[in-house]
Amino acid sequence: MKFLLFLSYVLIVLEPIKADIEYTNTENLQKEELSEKPVLDLENKLCNSKTEDLWKIFETKIDTNNDSVISVNELENYLWKKIKDLHYEEMMMQVKRIDPQSTNKIKFESYLKDIFDYLDDVKILENENLSDEYKEMKQLYKIEKEMWIHLANSTDQTLDYETFYKIIFPEEFPEIESFNEVVTFKAYDSDNDSYLSVQEFLDYSKDVDESIVNIVKNKFTKQIDLNSDNKLDLDEFKIWNKQVISSLGQIINDEKNYLINCCDEDKSGSWIRSEIENNCESFMNSLITNYSMDLKENFKTKKSNTKVEL
Ligand SMILES: [Ca+2]
Ligand SMILES: [Ca+2]
Ligand SMILES: [Ca+2]
């Protein structure tokens, strides 16, 4: 089911190259049970009672030429905007913690305190002779530091929100993403031989995907070690990262194809109101409605006004 696939995608947090794309409000999600049933119940309730709210989203936010037909272009434009808005919203939640006075100048120390909030003193990560229990934190720290130096204002080493966004979502900016890959590669190349060994690679990716390493034989599969020398150079590493971290273009393309397959009934390459309402549940499982969260928000507001039972 698409929603669950989406959730598993959200839950795979690739650090330090960040794929922490969380399209839904995580605070809300954590409070709710993530089993299928409540989700389906919610979809049914939203679809049975409020399909006009769904159409309203299309009518007011997506159908930019007001012809009551949603073209593929209008859909794609909206998805781009939607992702960026959600990313920005997510970033601002972090900014509220780091820069509570809204100065639009974020200090590296404040950012570090937020990332490593479980450490009493983040300065210890500067220490070269830390025990192994700090290894992972140090690698992450190294990457963040390099990224910060690369992007910060040269006079006071602060970042404005616009630049801070690039640290949080490097995959949206090819130059930043490439730089992020280089510093990540270096941080995990513990013996500085310009290759990632199986162990170094596992240090980096252990929470991600071990299936591309035959652990018993301590060997990479051909899928990742393209020239079969049992070590990864930077290019192999970058190719692998592009496979595991979907670009925004890919995400949008997947979403578009999903909505064409499920809901474009006459295969005209566009959607009219009846196609959208007939396939309401599919749209609830789509980024278009932020996986139904957008309608739920509307619903909650209405509930408080009109006492509708959800
Ligand atoms: Ca249109
Ligand atoms: Ca190495
Ligand atoms: Ca290789």
Number of domains present in the structure of the chain = 1
Nearest-ligand number for the alpha carbon of 195 = 2
**DSSP assignment letter at 69:** E
Note whether residue 196 is domain-resident: no
CB of 106 within 8 A of CB of 99? yes
Interatomic CA distance for residues 159 and 109, integer angstroms: 12
Q: What is the pLDDT of residues 222-247, one digit of tens each?
A: 889 999 999 999 999 999 888 887 77
Note whether residue 82 is domain-resident: yes
Q: What is the pLDDT of residues 23-59, one digit of tens each?
A: 555 445 444 445 566 666 666 777 887 678 899 999 9
Note whether residue 231 is domain-resident: no
Quote the ligand 1 centre to 64 CA distance (angstroms): 6
Note whether residue 214 is domain-resident: no
Which residues have their alpha-adjacent CB atom under 5 A from ion ligand 1? 63, 65, 67, 69
pTM of the predicted model as reported, rounded to 2 decimal places: 0.75
Nearest-ligand number for the alpha carbon of 232 = 3
Note whether residue 150 is domain-resident: yes
Q: What is the pLDDT of residues 130-189, one digit of tens each?
A: 888 899 999 999 999 999 999 998 889 999 999 999 999 998 899 999 999 999 999 999
Nearest-ligand number for the alpha carbon of 204 = 2
**Closest Cα to residue 203, out of 25, 58, 16?**
16
**DSSP assignment letter at 272:** E
Nearest-ligand number for the alpha carbon of 203 = 2
Show the domain range for 168: 65-191+248-273
Quote the ligand 1 centre to 255 CA distance (angstroms): 18
Q: State CA 260 to chain mean position distance.
A: 23
Note whether residue 24 is domain-resident: no
Nearest-ligand number for the alpha carbon of 234 = 3
Interatomic CA distance for residues 242 and 53, integer angstroms: 37
Note whether residue 217 is domain-resident: no
Note whether residue 253 is domain-resident: yes
Quote the ligand 2 centre to 198 CA distance (angstroms): 9
